[in-house]
Amino acid sequence: MLQNLFDISSRVIVITGGCGVLGSEMALYLAGQGATVVVLDRDAVKGAELRNRIKKMGGKSLFLESDVLDKSILEQNRQDILKSYGKIDVLVNAAGGNMPGATIATDQSIFDLDMEAFKKVVDLNLFGSVLPTMVFARAMVDAGTGNIINIASESALRPLTRVAGYGAAKAAVANFTKYMAGELALKFGSGFRVNALAPGFFITDQNRNLLTHPDGSYTDRARSILAHTPFGRFGEAHELLGSLHYLVSDASRFVTGSILVVDGGFDAFSI
């Protein structure tokens, strides 16, 4: 009988930032595929809601309050997960995002850059992926196998105006993805994979102000993005799920160090 390469029902998958717009969509989907989903987030209220939603649909999940910038909390999370399930197969580093203070306004320039906000956005997006990787890869290495999926962004591939800090951080996430693919495979063997998803433009809470006016109409920036997107529309959160499933599953067994772009053609297109 042919093996189903996409069967992920035995996987224990940890998702940081799992209560976010994209993270929760991922958690619900993966639980729907039979995987055990461990949601780590600093928002305990949303965490409890998400756990209940997964439970109602018959899925297996655990919510743990966390902070991706605090190594000792992450180590406690690791201990709790191993106690409950005995292993961690996959880590999805989905905590991240831009911050309003780190965006350069249209009437500002680089000389107005708020360095504190710049550092915060790099902290969350870069170190908020590096630290969980260090902590959870330890359990993977001890088990002899593991799979890490980072979330980069279109801004990692091409600098976008106004979001210097976010772009720098996501470019570093893309670089770290490739670095870790080599690091884990060279030092611990071919049972370890590290890849990233690079979502294009999806309207969510973190970019709504940049892309829409209060009445819902598109800003000039949104129109410019759409003019540069061969599909001519923004992505829907659920359109990331197939690519995520592929990276989580054995269908991508020989894939490591790749950045899988999901953007309606934005990155491929010039004029």
Ligand X SMILES: NC(=O)c1ccc[n+]([C@@H]2O[C@H](COP(=O)([O-])OP(=O)(O)OC[C@H]3O[C@@H](n4cnc5c(N)ncnc54)[C@H](O)[C@@H]3O)[C@@H](O)[C@H]2O)c1
Active-site amino acid positions: 166
User: Do the Cβ atoms of 84 and 76 come closer than 8 Å?
Assistant: no
94 binds ligand X (CB under 6 A): yes
User: Considering the complex, what minimum distance in angstroms separates the CB of residue 135 from ligand X?
Assistant: 13
Give phi and psi for 212, each to the nearest 5: -135, 150
Encoding tokens for residue 107? Answer: 């009437």
Exposed/middle/buried for 54, CB within 10 Å: 0-12, 13-18, 19+?
Answer: buried
167 binds ligand X (CB under 6 A): no
177 binds ligand X (CB under 6 A): no
264 binds ligand X (CB under 6 A): no
Rounded Cα distance, 36 and 204, in Å: 26
Rounded Cα distance, 215 and 218, in Å: 9
102 binds ligand X (CB under 6 A): no
User: Do the Cβ atoms of 193 and 148 come closer than 8 Å?
Assistant: yes
User: Considering the complex, what minimum distance in angstroms separates the CB of residue 191 from ligand X?
Assistant: 26
Q: Which residue number places its CB atom closest to ligand X?
A: 20
151 binds ligand X (CB under 6 A): yes
User: Considering the complex, what minimum distance in angstroms separates the CB of residue 13 from ligand X?
Assistant: 15
Nearer Cβ to ligand X, position 42 or 228? 42
Exposed/middle/buried for 63, CB within 10 Å: 0-12, 13-18, 19+?
Answer: buried
204 binds ligand X (CB under 6 A): yes
Question: Nearest Cα to 13, choosing from 271, 226, 245?
Answer: 245
Q: What's the first-to-final CA gap in the chain, in angstroms?
A: 48
Nearer Cβ to ligand X, position 30 or 95? 95
67 binds ligand X (CB under 6 A): yes
Of 19-27, 82-90, 106-114, 217-225, the window that binds ligand X (rule: CB under 6 A) is 19-27
Of 20-28, 54-62, 108-116, 218-226, the window that binds ligand X (rule: CB under 6 A) is 20-28
- CB-based contacts of 179, cutoff 8 Å, min separation 6: none
**Residues within the interface to ligand X (CB under 6 A):** 16-17, 19-23, 41-43, 66-69, 94-97, 124, 128, 151, 153, 199, 201-202, 204-207
